[in-house]
């Protein structure tokens, strides 16, 4: 096999698509039964170059410290996660220095804009259906102070070509009339006209079907146990079903990329940042539904219309690989919905909402890892954190360009995968089962 991809979420599938489009032979191994069934399943649904800023903004350390043990905090660290967060946390804080934060924001924006363009092109060429919204996204504010930082960010990204509008209360209501019941509480908003929205899971399914029909070998229900590394070279993977050899192994396993790489001596600074969502069937509500994603910056949460469904998603919790759904965090999302759309909150049946939790693969410096990574034959496409949907298509294309020796359309340097520490002595692994 020429290219073996580990992971069938947004990043693995977009990589598969880009490689197949270049005529490359591709096998993709995914442990779940179908495409996009982990973190790419029920995310916020927004494609937002406008939110390119990494989470480690200047002053983030203080916010995180204050959150410890507070279930209502938008960003929360659970004590059991401390040991796994020490070295990662130091890097996370080191990158919250303003100059680094701004550099990462610009690079993240460049990738997200490129990616959104590629997503649009693909949608048009294949006629993909994934509950697309093209009216942009909107942040709304209840006081001028909360608006300051998002406005400064918008001005910064405007220099890179982002379009946005500053809205007064009346203009907020023109963009989203469904906010009328809380109009008195709002002072204004920001409308990011170039953003989009859509259901990432539907997109994954559609993309899997497309790459499958174009020759990629997608294997579901196959868990990769370890990467096979010998003499500084990765030559395949080992699974319960036996070994698979490949010229290139591309790790796109979300947060689980970190343990996979650790076994070959690479310490990937990516940790799981758990987030939650609830999905409500709007067709049962008998009222007008939201028409554009609306973001509450303070809660790190958003309400996104996805066709007839409403997705409320957000909050961040560092709690290792635990995906258990905690009621208190769901309550936070319900409170957000109630605060923005009281009429929907009154009408909906709380027994019938779909709660979900997923693990964002969060890098310490706020940027993903795309490219080759120290060991010959090893490539990464992971660490996209809160922007994996926004950056998926662009990341897949960028990696395929690097792999195939073509000139990337954007500067690939900020996302280099070899910025992680090289292994001290590349570990070797034995193959227990026959190779295919």
Binding of ligand FAD by 358 (CB under 6 A) = yes
Residue 152 tokens, joined:
């400064």
223 in contact with ligand FAD (CB under 6 A): yes
**Contact range with ligand FAD by CB under 6 A, out of 28-36, 187-195, 262-270, 413-421:** 28-36
Decide: helix, strand or coil at residue 161. Answer: coil
CB atoms within 10 A of CB 156: 16
CA torsion 363-364-365-368 (nearest 10°) is: -10
Name the packing angle between helices 388-403 and 10-21 (round to 10°).
Answer: 40
CA distance 119 to 126: 11
Tell me the C-alpha distance between 11 and 5, whole Å: 10
HEC assignment per residue over 336-347: HHHHHCHHHHHH
What is the smallest separation between the CB atom of 154 and ligand FAD, expressed in angstroms? 18
Give the binding range for ligand FAD (CB under 6 A) out of 39-47, 132-140, 142-150, 242-250. Answer: 39-47
Whole-number CA gyration radius for the chain: 21
Q: How many residues bind ligand FAD (CB under 6 A)?
A: 42
319 lies in the binding site for ligand FAD (CB under 6 A):
no
The candidate with the shortest Cα–Cα distance to 396, out of 409, 386, 429, is: 409
* Encoded tokens for 432: 């227990």
Out of 28, 30, 76, 199, the only residue in the binding site for ligand FAD (CB under 6 A) is 30
Tell me which of 153, 270, 387, 393 binds ligand FAD, using CB under 6 A. Answer: 387
Q: Is 276 left (phi over 0), alpha (psi -120 to 50) or beta?
A: beta
Q: Which of 101, 164, 203, 276 binds ligand FAD (CB under 6 A)?
A: 276
Pick the binder of ligand FAD from 386, 393, 402, 417 (CB under 6 A): 386
292 with 175: CB under 8 angstroms?
A: yes
Contact between 361 and ligand FAD by CB under 6 A: the answer reads yes
Of 70, 432, 19, residue with least CA distance to 216: 19
Piece of the chain touching ligand FAD by CB under 6 A; list 130-138, 181-189, 279-287, 357-365: 357-365
- In the complex, minimum distance from the CB of residue 48 to ligand FAD, in angstroms, rounded to a whole number: 6
Are 235 and 228 within 8 A, CB to CB?
yes
Told to check if 373 binds ligand FAD by CB under 6 A, we report no
Q: Does 11 bind ligand FAD (CB under 6 A)?
A: yes
Evaluate whether 172 touches 165 at the Cβ level (below 8 Å): no
Nearer to ligand FAD, 185 or 307 (CB): 307
Contact 54, 33 (CB under 8 A): no
Give the rounded distance of the alpha carbon of 12 from its chain centre.
12
What minimum distance in Å lies between the beta carbon of 7 and ligand FAD?
Answer: 3
- Our separate counts of H helices and E strands in the chain read 11, 20
Among 8, 136, 194, 377, binds ligand FAD (CB under 6 A): 8
Residue from 224, 278, 337, 344 binding ligand FAD (CB under 6 A): 224
Of the candidate residues 264, 389, 398, 408, the single one contacting ligand FAD (CB under 6 A): 389
d(CA 310, CA 202): 15
Distance of CA 102 to the CA centre of its chain: 20
Is residue 6 a contact residue for ligand FAD (CB under 6 A)? yes
Out of 95, 271, 329, 384, name the contact with ligand FAD by CB under 6 A: 384
To 5 degrees, how large is the angle CA 224–CA 270–CA 398? 80
Does position 353 bind ligand FAD by CB under 6 A? no
Please say which residue, 1 or 183, places its beta carbon nearer to ligand FAD: 1
Inter-helix orientation angle 60-67/82-94, to 10°: 160
Stretch that binds ligand FAD, among 4-12, 71-79, 154-162, 180-188 (CB under 6 A): 4-12
Under the binding rule (CB under 6 A), the answer on residue 43 touching ligand FAD is yes
By beta-carbon proximity to ligand FAD, the closer residue of 287 and 432 is: 432
Nearer to ligand FAD, 41 or 141 (CB): 41
Query: Which of 3, 4, 5, 9: binder of ligand FAD (CB under 6 A)?
Result: 9
Binding letters toward ligand FAD, positions 235-274, x by CB under 6 A: -----------------xxx-x---x--------------
Angle formed at CA 296 by CA 292 and CA 297, multiple of 5 degrees = 125
Secondary structure of residue 98 in the 3-state scheme: helix
Binds ligand FAD by CB under 6 A, chosen from 54, 265, 305, 388: 388
CB of 356 to ligand FAD, least distance (A): 8
Distance CA 26, CA 4 (A): 6
Among 15, 108, 277, 372, binds ligand FAD (CB under 6 A): 277
Contact residues for ligand FAD (CB under 6 A)? 6-12, 29-32, 37-40, 43-46, 223-224, 252-254, 256, 260, 275-277, 313-314, 358, 360-361, 382, 384-390
């Amino acid at each position: 096999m020429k290219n073996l991809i580990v992971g069938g979420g947004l990043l693995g599938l977009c990589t598969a698509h880009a490689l197949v489009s270049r005529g490359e032979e591709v096998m993709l191994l995914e442990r779940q039964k179908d495409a996009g069934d982990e973190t790419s399943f029920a995310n916020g649904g927004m494609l937002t170059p406008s939110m390119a800023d990494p989470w480690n903004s200047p002053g983030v350390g203080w916010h995180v410290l204050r959150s410890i043990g507070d279930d209502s905090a938008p960003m929360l660290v659970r004590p059991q996660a401390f040991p796994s967060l020490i070295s990662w946390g130091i890097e996370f804080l080191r990158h919250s220095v303003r100059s680094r934060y701004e550099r990462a924001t610009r690079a993240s924006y460049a990738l997200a804009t490129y990616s959104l363009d590629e997503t649009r092109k693909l949608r048009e060429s294949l006629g993909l259906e994934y509950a697309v919204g093209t009216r942009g996204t909107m942040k709304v504010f209840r006081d001028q102070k909360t608006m300051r930082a998002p406005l400064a960010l918008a001005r910064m990204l405007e220099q890179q070509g982002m379009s946005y509008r500053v809205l007064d209360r009346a203009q907020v209501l023109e963009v989203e009339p469904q906010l009328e019941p809380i109009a008195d509480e709002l002072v204004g908003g920001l409308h990011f006209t170039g953003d989009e929205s859509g259901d990432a899971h539907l997109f994954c399914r559609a993309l899997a079907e497309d790459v499958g029909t174009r020759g990629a070998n997608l294997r579901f229900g196959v868990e990769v146990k370890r990467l096979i590394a010998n003499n500084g070279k990765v030559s395949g993977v080992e699974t319960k079903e036996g070994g698979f050899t490949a010229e290139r192994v591309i790790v796109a396993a979300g947060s689980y990329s970190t343990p996979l790489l650790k076994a070959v001596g690479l310490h990937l600074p990516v940790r799981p940042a758990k987030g939650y969502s609830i999905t409500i069937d709007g067709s049962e509500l008998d009222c007008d539904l939201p028409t554009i994603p609306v973001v509450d910056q303070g809660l790190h949460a958003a309400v996104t219309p996805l066709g007839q469904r409403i997705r409320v998603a957000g909050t961040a919790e560092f709690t290792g690989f635990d995906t258990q759904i905690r009621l208190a965090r769901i309550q936070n999302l319900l409170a957000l919905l109630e605060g923005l759309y009281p009429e929907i909150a009154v009408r909906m049946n709380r027994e019938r909402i779909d709660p979900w939790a997923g693990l964002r693969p969060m890098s310490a410096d706020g940027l993903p890892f795309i490219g080759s990574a120290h060991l010959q034959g090893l490539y990464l496409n992971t660490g996209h954190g809160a922007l994996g949907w926004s950056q998926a298509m662009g990341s897949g294309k960028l990696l395929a360009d690097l792999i195939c020796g073509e000139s990337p359309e954007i500067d690939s340097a900020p996302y280099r995968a070899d910025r992680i520490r090289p292994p001290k002595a590349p570990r070797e692994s034995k193959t227990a089962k026959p190779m295919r």
